[in-house]
Amino acid sequence: MRAAAHAAVDEAVAILRAGRDRPLDRIGKAAKDFLTEVDLASEAALKASLAKATPDIGFYGEEGGGADLTKGRVWVADPLDGTINYATGSPLCGVMLGLLQDGEPVLGIIDLPFLGTRVDSGAVQDVDGFDEAIVGMGDAFHQGGGERLDAYLRLTMEVHRRALRFRCVGSAAVLWTWLASGNIQGLLLAHNNPYDVVAGHAIARASGAVVTDYAGAPLTLASKGTLAAAPSIHSDLTALAGDLAART
């Protein structure tokens, strides 16, 4: 299965590279969000490659949906994570492919083609305290509005104030990769969309990270938000996220 997953990601990455230097049509998805023909072509390539290599495993993609995520084995794909980055020329984007077994992440691959990085495992880097940690956070617009958004923005300020450094790069693929590679010590996403989380969850957990919801409970498909960190700062990050957890 791992070989089939890597081969499928290879095909998707080739599509991202080929589409890099040509004008792209922007297809509206929601407020402040869009997809492109590259997203669609990448997802189609992933789905076709995996259907051929692993016909007994279901498929769920960001753009087309698919199989029931809670039953059996299902591939979960984000064919182009960081679409806005990609469409505006930033290298901070990638392909994410994860495998669920009865709703539990068991395998993940993330490729950042314009950073020359692919991970399916790693090793998180502990630090001596939160003031020595680098923490990444996902884009706030995923929170919608109201009290939840306000709590997320307040948390962003607290993390920025207390951590060694704060990162917001517009791509969950990049944050998961950096966590597993020891470049950051924690991350917090504004949601728990499976295509943004399953691959990273499997990789981060295998790399020694603690992966939970905002309140520190085990992360599941039903969770309302995603938090992952090196063991040394996980409790600090969940403590800071307490207000957000209460309003989510």
Tokens coding 98: 């994860």
CA 193 to chain centre: 8
How do strand 94-101 and strand 73-81 relate by DSSP bridges? antiparallel
Pick from 199, 190, 186, 175: nearest CA to 232: 186
> Is 56 annotated for ligand binding?
no
Tokens coding 20: 């890099």
> Is 80 annotated for ligand binding?
yes
The annotation places the binding site for Mg(2+) at: 62, 78, 80-81, 196
The annotation places the binding site at: 62, 78, 80-81, 196
